[in-house]
């Protein structure tokens, strides 16, 4: 850990990425209120909203029906994940004409390290990154670039100037620019954390800033609070696993498995594997996504959101519900590949305490978590899956299916 006195990190965050990607790729959509949807349904929520739609009050998560009520001429485009992944590759190449990308945080967020010689003119480097993207990709796909002594402050700088912004938070001006923020504007402070902080008398960023690092640790109940405090104060530290975006597995189905039933049997195995890794690495998830594809169709994408969850029975039930939707909506003749991901992660230690309260539902869930953890231990000990929930299918070829691009750039170990 050290305390940089220069700008060492550059953070790039695209504005309404899926929506501006479609406006970039389909010029007739530019300047129009439009949204991207995961599936054709009046009840689905928008996964991205163009700035023109935002100006009318449409938000991410607004349902198609509600968006139509706000603006009857709103345009909806079904998400094309493979296309966005390709665009992501073009973006990386554009940024790397200026400086190397250090880590990809999501499909539309990446962080770069500034070399010592670049730090004095960091804003100029940021400007060049934006220019390179505009020149090589186009003016529609805008991003905000933030600079800071560490990644957290660079990310906050990018968020402070949206859309199409460029801002530096310098170590010597701290906490100045942070004081206008609410607690939940700080990445890593979820609403549950903020409520707990408020109950402890820490209702503002200024109050959080004024704590002692040990107090932050105590309020969080784990080291994460102290880490966040250090980063807000401009210290730079490595955060290896805690910034994970997702756990997921996908594979191409063997020939005789290419039906919804085959995909379901396979998805259960993939989900159990992802959930076991989620628990092993100390995370809890708030969303499960299922993606089915066939060679010639757009495929089917569905997502369920829920309160923080990490037990197998709840996750498998959620998967079953997604397949019920897929059964009604999936148009493809068969299913060639299946991919499940757990995302919107929270470190388990940060999950709001009242979830583990005394309601009968909470007690059952806790027992299911304990049982899942016991199953993990047994399966690790006996090398292989001896204990699992419900029907279990051995998939020919094991997990070594072909890699599938998804709505985030998968890590190699996600397959
Ligand atoms: Mg973004």
Looking at the fold, whether 110 and 46 belong to one and the same domain comes out as: no
Point out the domain boundary residue: 59, 82, 105: 82
Whether the bond into 387 is cis, omega within 30 of 0: no
Residue 381, classified by CB atoms within 10 Å of its CB into exposed (0-12), middle (13-18) or buried (19+), is exposed
Is the pLDDT reported for residue 385 higher than 70?
no
Looking at the fold, whether 387 and 249 belong to one and the same domain comes out as: yes
Q: Pick the residue with more confidence: 412 or 193?
A: 193
Ligand 1 centroid, distance to 16 Cα (angstroms): 6
Residue 32 is assigned to a structural domain of this protein: yes
Ligand 1 centroid, distance to 179 Cα (angstroms): 22
- Give per-residue pLDDT as tens, 208-256: 999 999 999 888 887 788 989 999 999 997 655 444 567 888 888 888 8
Task: For residue 293, give the CATH number of its domain.
Answer: 3.30.1490.100
- Of the ranges 4-18, 156-170, 336-350, which one carries the lowest mean pLDDT score? 336-350
Question: How many distinct structural domains can be found in the chain?
Answer: 3
User: What average pLDDT does the segment 322-327 reach?
Assistant: 90
Ligand 1 centroid, distance to 134 Cα (angstroms): 16
Looking at the fold, whether 253 and 380 belong to one and the same domain comes out as: yes
Residue 108 is assigned to a structural domain of this protein: yes
Q: Pick the residue with more confidence: 39 or 189?
A: 189
User: What average pLDDT does the segment 352-380 reach?
Assistant: 78
Contact 1, 237 (CB under 8 A): yes
Looking at the fold, whether 147 and 263 belong to one and the same domain comes out as: no
Q: How far apart are CA 205 and CA 122, in angstroms?
A: 26
Contact 246, 343 (CB under 8 A): yes
Residue 92 is assigned to a structural domain of this protein: no
Closest by Cα among 84, 82, 87 to 296: 82
Is the pLDDT reported for residue 396 higher than 90?
no
Ligand 1 centroid, distance to 374 Cα (angstroms): 38
Ligand 1 centroid, distance to 38 Cα (angstroms): 17
- Which pLDDT belongs to residue 415? 29
Q: Pick the residue with more confidence: 412 or 312?
A: 312
Ligand 1 centroid, distance to 104 Cα (angstroms): 12
Is the pLDDT reported for residue 91 higher than 70?
yes
User: What average pLDDT does the segment 325-349 reach?
Assistant: 84
Sign of CA dihedral 20, 23, 26, 32: positive
Contact 92, 110 (CB under 8 A): yes
Ligand 1 centroid, distance to 17 Cα (angstroms): 6
In this structure, what token pair is assigned to residue 278?
């989620």
For residue 360, what pLDDT band results from cuts at 50, 70 and 90? confident
Looking at the fold, whether 207 and 261 belong to one and the same domain comes out as: no
Looking at the fold, whether 59 and 101 belong to one and the same domain comes out as: no
Looking at the fold, whether 195 and 304 belong to one and the same domain comes out as: no
Is the pLDDT reported for residue 64 higher than 50?
yes
Ligand 1 centroid, distance to 319 Cα (angstroms): 27
Ligand 1 centroid, distance to 194 Cα (angstroms): 22
Looking at the fold, whether 221 and 344 belong to one and the same domain comes out as: no
Residues noted as catalytic: 109
- Which pLDDT belongs to residue 103? 79
Looking at the fold, whether 251 and 227 belong to one and the same domain comes out as: no
- Which pLDDT belongs to residue 322? 94
- Cα–Cα distances in angstroms (integers) from residue 2 to residues 103, 221, 233, in the given order: 20, 24, 11
- Give per-residue pLDDT as tens, 95-137: 999 998 887 777 889 999 999 999 999 999 999 999 999 999 9
Residue 238 is assigned to a structural domain of this protein: no
Residue 12 is assigned to a structural domain of this protein: no
Residue 129 is assigned to a structural domain of this protein: yes
User: What average pLDDT does the segment 291-319 reach?
Assistant: 84
Point out the domain boundary residue: 82, 110, 139: 82
- Which pLDDT belongs to residue 213? 92
Residue 10 is assigned to a structural domain of this protein: no
- Which pLDDT belongs to residue 238? 63
Looking at the fold, whether 408 and 266 belong to one and the same domain comes out as: yes
User: What average pLDDT does the segment 13-24 reach?
Assistant: 95
- Which pLDDT belongs to residue 116? 92
In this structure, what token pair is assigned to residue 291?
């993606």
Looking at the fold, whether 256 and 290 belong to one and the same domain comes out as: yes
Domain that holds residue 69: 17-82
Ligand 1 centroid, distance to 15 Cα (angstroms): 5
Looking at the fold, whether 252 and 379 belong to one and the same domain comes out as: yes
Task: For residue 58, give the CATH number of its domain.
Answer: 3.40.1170.60
Point out the domain boundary residue: 204, 232, 260: 232
Ligand 1 centroid, distance to 14 Cα (angstroms): 4
Contact 260, 334 (CB under 8 A): no
Phi-psi region of 343 (alpha: psi -120 to 50; beta: other; left: phi over 0): beta
């Amino acid at each position: 850990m050290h305390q940089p006195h220069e700008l060492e990190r550059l953070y790039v965050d695209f504005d309404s990425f899926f929506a501006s990607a479609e406006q970039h790729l389909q010029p007739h959509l530019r300047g129009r209120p439009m949204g991207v949807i995961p599936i054709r349904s009046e009840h689905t929520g928008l996964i991205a909203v163009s700035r023109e739609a935002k100006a009318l009050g449409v938000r991410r998560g607004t349902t198609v029906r509600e968006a139509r009520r706000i603006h009857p001429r709103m345009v909806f485009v079904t998400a094309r994940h493979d296309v966005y992944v390709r665009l992501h590759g073009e973006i990386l190449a554009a940024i790397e004409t200026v400086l190397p990308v250090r880590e990809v945080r999501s499909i539309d967020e990446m962080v770069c390290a500034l070399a010592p010689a670049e730090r004095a003119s960091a804003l100029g480097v940021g400007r060049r990154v934006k220019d390179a993207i505009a020149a090589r990709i186009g003016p529609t796909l805008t991003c905000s670039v933030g600079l800071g002594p560490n990644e957290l402050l660079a990310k906050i700088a990018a968020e402070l100037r949206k859309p199409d912004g460029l801002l530096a938070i310098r170590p010597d001006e701290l906490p100045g620019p942070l004081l206008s923020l609410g607690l939940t504007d700080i990445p890593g402070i979820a609403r549950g954390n903020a409520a707990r902080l408020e109950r402890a008398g820490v209702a503002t960023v200024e109050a959080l800033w004024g704590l002692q690092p040990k107090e932050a640790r105590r309020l969080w109940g784990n080291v994460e609070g102290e880490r966040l405090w250090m980063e807000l104060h401009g210290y730079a530290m490595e955060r290896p696993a805690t910034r994970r975006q997702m756990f997921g597995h996908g594979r191409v189905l063997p020939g005789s498995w290419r039906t919804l039933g085959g995909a379901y049997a396979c998805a259960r195995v993939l989900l159990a594997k992802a959930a076991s890794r989620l628990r092993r690495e100390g995370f809890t998830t708030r969303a499960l996504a299922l993606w089915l594809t066939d060679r010639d169709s757009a495929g089917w994408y569905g997502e369920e959101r829920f309160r923080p969850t990490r037990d197998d029975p709840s996750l498998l039930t959620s998967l079953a519900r997604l397949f019920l939707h897929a059964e009604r909506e999936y148009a493809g003749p068969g299913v060639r590949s299946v991919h499940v991901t757990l995302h919107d992660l929270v470190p388990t230690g940060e999950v709001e305490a009242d979830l583990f309260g005394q309601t009968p539902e909470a007690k059952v869930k806790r027992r299911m978590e304990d049982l899942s953890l016991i199953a993990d231990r047994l399966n690790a000990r006996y090398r292989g899956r001896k204990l699992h929930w419900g029907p279990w299918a051995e998939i020919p070829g094991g997990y070594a299916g072909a890699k599938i691009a998804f709505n985030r750039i998968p890590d190699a170990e996600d397959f």
